[in-house]
A and B are shown apart, each in its own frame.
Chain A
Amino acid sequence: DGGITQSPKYLFRKEGQNVTLSCEQNLNHDAMYWYRQDPGQGLRLIYYSQIVNDFQKGDIAEGYSVSREKKESFPLTVTSAQKNPTAFYLCASSSGTGGYYEQYFGPGTRLTVT
Chain B
Amino acid sequence: SQQGEEDPQALSIQEGENATMNCSYKTSINNLQWYRQNSGRGLVHLILIRSNEREKHSGRLRVTLDTSKKSSSLLITASRAADTASYFCATPHYSGYSTLTFGKGTMLLVSP
Report yes or no: B42 in contact with A90, Cβ–Cβ below 8 A: yes
Chain A: number of interface residues, binned into ranges: 20 to 34
Rounded to whole angstroms, the CA-CA distance of A48 and B98 in the bound complex is 9
Q: Which residue of B lies closest to A108 (CB)?
A: B42
When C-beta atoms are compared, the residue in chain B nearest to A88 turns out to be B40
A45 contact set on B, CB distance < 8 A: 93, 97, 99, 101
In contact, B31 and A100 (Cβ under 8 angstroms): yes
Which chain A residues (74-114) contact chain B, with CB distance < 8 Å?
88, 90, 92, 97-100, 102-108, 110
Indicate if the CB atoms of B97 and A103 lie closer than 8 Å.
Answer: no
CB contact between A100 and one of B30, B40, B103 (< 8 Å): that residue: B30
Contacts of B48 in A (CB 8 A): 102
Judge whether A108 and B40 touch: CB under 8 Å.
yes
The answer to the question of A64 belonging to the interface, with a C-beta cut-off of 8 Å to chain B, is no
- A107 & B41 in contact (Cβ 8 Å cutoff): yes
Task: Write the B8-45 contact mask toward A (1 if CB under 8 angstroms, else 0).
Answer: 00000000000000000000001101010000111111
A56-B102 in contact (CB<8A): no
| A31 CB-CB contact with B under 8 Å | yes
Chain A residue nearest in CB terms to B29: A99
Q: Which residues of A contact B95 (CB under 8 A)?
A: 59
Given A42-B2, A43-B88, A45-B93, verify A99-B100 contact (CB < 8 Å).
yes
Residues from chain B with a CB closer than 8 A to the CB of A88 are 40
A2 within 8 A of B: no
Assess the A99–B102 pair: CB atoms within 8 A: no
Min distance, Cβ B32 to any Cβ of chain A, angstroms: 10
Q: A41-B104, A43-B102, A58-B97 are in contact. Are A99 and B31 (CB under 8 A)?
A: yes
B104–A99 CB distance below 8 A: no
**Additional 5 contacts, C-beta under 8 A, given A58-B97, A103-B35, A105-B43:** A6-B42, A48-B99, A50-B98, A103-B100, A105-B42
Listed in ascending order, the chain B residues whose CB lies under 8 Å from chain A are 2, 30-31, 33, 35, 40-45, 48, 88, 90-93, 95, 97-105
Listed by A's residue number, 20 A-B pairs whose Cβ atoms lie within 8 Å are: A31-B98, A42-B105, A43-B43, A50-B98, A59-B95, A88-B40, A90-B42, A92-B42, A92-B43, A98-B98, A99-B91, A99-B92, A99-B93, A99-B98, A99-B99, A100-B92, A103-B99, A105-B44, A106-B42, A108-B40
